[in-house]
Each structure stands twice: as C-alpha cells, then as structure tokens.
Amino acid sequence: MSGGEQLVRRLPNDIGGLSAGPIERVEHDLEPWEKRCHALADVLDFRKIINTEEKRRGVEALGSEMVGALGYYERWIVAFSNILFQKGLLTPEDLARKMDEVAARHATPQP
C-alpha cells in the first residue's frame, strides 16, 4: 500500500491496532497552564461552544505532522483556536493581537 493511501485510511488519531513499542509508564503532574487548558476544554463543552467530539476532530484536523510534533495540551489549544475561527467566533487577527499583548505583559516588568 502506498504511503498516501495509508494516510487516507488512518487519520492521525486512529491508531488502535497498530504496532508500537513497549509501554513506558510515564506520568507527570500537569503544569498550571495545562490544567487551565483542561478546565477550558470542560467549560467550552458545558457552554456548548466546543464539545468533546469537535475537540477530538479539531485535533485530528491538525494533520499528522502537527499531531506528532505538538504536546497534548498544545494540540488542544491550537485546535480550540481553529474551531472558533471556523465558527466565526474569533478571528486569527484577534488571537494574534491578544497573544502579542500577553507576551508584552511578560516582557516588561510589572509595576
């Protein structure tokens, strides 16, 4: 089977039954922003802004390269942003401006 065909048959999340290495029993306590991101996902679900299935599909839509390169909660926040762009609830410009503002807050010492 060609590599291209395999990409169509198996979307990035669909890994059940594939071969893989040994189970590494890794765990870590979530960093504060990761926990906030998890709580955000729950609140987006409660508020019927993004449900669990939309979130999963949003992660899948990042494509296998980004799914492979980003961490778990990194994938989530990028997916949430894309989903709200698609729904017309935010624009990429809104987010880019706000990110600049947040970054600037940390770059300059707070009074």
Summarize as ranges the residues that interact with another protein (CB under 8 A): 13-28, 30, 33-40, 42-47, 49, 51-53, 56, 59, 64, 67-74, 77-78, 80-81, 84, 89-90, 94-95, 98-99, 101-103, 106-107
Crossing angle between the packed helical segments 92-107 and 72-86, to the nearest 10 degrees: 140
Q: From the CB of residue 80, how many other CB atoms can be counted at a distance below 10 Å?
A: 21
SS3 57: helix
Q: Which is nearer to another protein, 4 or 22 (CB)?
A: 22
Question: How far is Cα 39 from Cα 45, in angstroms, rounded to an integer?
Answer: 10
Q: How far is the CB of 8 from another protein (least distance, A)?
A: 17
Q: Which is nearer to another protein, 8 or 18 (CB)?
A: 18
